[in-house]
Structures are given as structure tokens and as C-alpha cells.
Amino acid sequence: MLPLARIGQLFADLTGHRPSEATLLAHLQSMHTKLIPHEQFIRGQLLAAPVGHADETGVQVEGKRQWLHTVSTAKWTYQAVHYHRGTKAFDAMGILPNYRGILVHDCNMPYFKDIYNFRHALCVAHLLRECQGITEYDKHRWSTRMRRLLQTSWRLVKLARATGGELPLDKIRRIEKRYDSILDDGEPEWLTGRIHQKTGPRGRKSKSKAANLAERFRLHKTAVLRFLRDPRVPFDNNQAERDIRMTKVKQKISGTFRTLQGAEQFARVRGFISTLRKQNLPILHSLIAVLRCEFSFQ
């Protein structure tokens, strides 16, 4: 998390010896290389997970915007940096093209491409925030009703899961019917002002934020409400959001990445350390074991 100058100062304060920047970079590269087999192991564990989480956030590398991607579970974290946010990045990471479980994400459209075989579960907490925005700025009633429905549904699901059960099928059907009714009743409202004079790419008519949100609710109904029927599916994507949050901390402390190599080193080491924390493994001891080629998750 620290810039090289502060790392050097830390060593000087603790030991009386200050390593050069070249020495520090050499050690970072050594760790980056020795973590390759362990990163491959983490990737394999994520591929076998029944439910995974994915997210991405922008990072500045060499003065240009790139993306740090994460795929994670409660036990495993994989992170990588790529120039692209969508399909090219997913393919380069090598997880999502081969994943067959349920992926929780924030509705980034490349996740929905037909080339992927995983099932979708959308972060409903993210959708609630969007509904709140539509309610506050557009004064729409349908977004308020949808927000209340989703919040009530989650309370019912939590109560059922707390007792080891599942939500009864009749309640699920009533919620699904109410979901459709809210969108049908609200259509005249969110269609108001839907078409603007300004057009989007390739001459397509622009839509309001309310219209875009409502159409996402319609198009991805199964993914939005998957938490009702599958007890493994959470209500939000907090797992991935927590795992990726430290990247923002890194940038606040150290600024942008000066090189792509530095960004890639950070992503691999950070994913490994995140995994160690999740499994309550000693971090310093484990990192030393990696350098000695003595570490194993098994």
C-alpha cells in the first residue's frame, strides 16, 4: 500500500539500513513471479465455486485509465489489471469464459454476452440506490414502490434463511407478480421524457435514466430476483466491493501507478494477501514461505 520512498524509510527506521529503489523493485518482481502457481490455484478454486462475485474499478496507470478487475468468494480473491473493462479483460483473466456457476455483479453489460455460460445474479443494493436517485430527482412513484418491494422481499428471505428454510413458493410468485405490476403501472411515468433530441452512438435515441433502469428491471428480472429462489445468492455484491476497495486506498496513499508492471504486481500480491486474510493464514510467514518455495494452501 505504501510508495517506494516510504517503504525505504520504514526499513531505515526499523533496521538502520535503507534499501534502494532498485532493490525494492527487484524484490517485488521476485514475489510477483513466485506467486504465479498460487494465483493459478486460486483461479481453479474460483472456477469450482458455486457462487462468485465480480467487480471492476478504474485505476490510473502511466497517466491513462485502466481497470482493476476482481473475481472473488468468501475464501478466495483474484485480481488483475487490464486496459479494457469488458470481454477482452474477462478473456485475459481466464475465469469467466470457463465459469459455470452463479456470478453476482453490478450489471456491467459485457457480463451478459452469450459466450458466457454462468448464470447471473444482480446486486440489488446497487439497484436500490438507483431507485432512490430516480425517486429524489425525478419524483417517480414506480421507483419508490420497487424499492419498497425489494427491501420487503429481502427481509422475508432473511427471516426464512434464519430458520433454515426458504421462502414459500406462493410468496415468491406474489412478489414476482407485484414486480411486474409496478413496472407496468409505472411505464407511462418512466416513458415521460424518454426520447431526447440528442442521439447516442450510431444515431440511437437517448433514454432517460429512469427508462434505462426500468428496462433493466424488465430485461433482467430473473437475475434481479434470483435471491428469492436460491439460498446461496446474496442480496448484494458487497464481497467483490470489499475486495476491490483497497485499490482506492492504495491510490489515495501512493497516487497513480507509474508503470503497468507495478500495477500488475500490486494486483497479484493484493489478491494473494486478501486470500490469506480470508483463510486466517499468517501473512508475513506465508509471504516468506512463498519466497522460499515452501508455501501451499493445502
Query: Cell digits for 292?
Result: 522460499
Q: CA 120 to CA 2: how far, in whole Å?
A: 36
Read off the pLDDT of residues 13-22 as tens digits, 9 standing for 90 and up: 999 999 999 9
pLDDT at 200 over 90: no
The yes or no reply on domain 4-120+238-291 and CATH 3.30.70 is: no
Average pLDDT over the chain reads 92
Query: Cell digits for 241?
Result: 466491493
Read off the pLDDT of residues 60-92 as tens digits, 9 standing for 90 and up: 999 899 999 999 999 999 999 999 999 999 999
Q: What share of the chain is helix, strand, coil (3-state, %, to 5)?
A: 60, 10, 25
Residues 6+ apart with CB under 8 A from 166: 160, 229, 231
Q: CA 268 to CA 189: how far, in whole Å?
A: 47
Where do you find CATH 3.30.420 in the chain? 4-120+238-291
Q: CA 44 to CA 155: how far, in whole Å?
A: 34
Q: CA 85 to CA 67: how far, in whole Å?
A: 6
Read off the pLDDT of residues 129-182 as tens digits, 9 standing for 90 and up: 999 999 999 899 999 999 999 999 999 999 999 998 899 999 999 999 999 999
| pTM of the predicted structure, to 2 decimals | 0.91
